Amino acid sequence: MIKIGAALRLQASSIHPEVQACLDRTCKELKRAFPKAYKTFKGFQFKRVNHPSYDAWDREVSLPLFGKDKPLAEVDKEENAADSSVLQLGFEGTLIHEFGHHIDHFIRAKGSEDVLTEWQALKKQLSVELGNVSRYAATNLSEWVAEEFLAEMKQKRPPKLIGAINNLMRNL
Give per-residue pLDDT as tens, 20-78: 899 999 999 999 999 999 999 998 888 888 888 999 988 999 888 877 888 888 877 77
Share of the chain above pLDDT 90, in %: 53
Is 87's pLDDT higher than 70? Answer: no
pLDDT band per the 50, 70, 90 thresholds, residue 1: very low
Q: What residues make up the domain containing 26? A: 2-169
Contact between residue 100 and residue 159 where contact means Cβ atoms under 8 Å apart: no
Sheet holding 53-55, edge to edge: 2-4, 43-47, 60-64, 53-55
pTM of the model: 0.88
Question: What is the spatial distance between Cα 145 and Cα 137, in angstroms, rounded to a whole number?
Answer: 8
Question: Phi then psi for 64, rounded to 5 degrees?
Answer: -65, 140
- Calculate mean pLDDT across residues 91-99: 91
CA distances from 141 to 37, 40, 103, 104, 159 (A): 20, 22, 13, 10, 17
Of 125, 147, 152, whose CA–CA distance to 134 is shortest? 147
Mean pLDDT of the chain: 85
pLDDT value, residue 52: 87
Question: What is the spatial distance between Cα 161 and Cα 111, in angstroms, rounded to a whole number?
Answer: 17
Higher pLDDT, 81 or 38: 38
Is 86's pLDDT higher than 60? Answer: no
Is 127's pLDDT higher than 90? Answer: yes
Pairing of strands 60-64, 53-55: antiparallel
Question: Number of folded domains in the chain?
Answer: 1
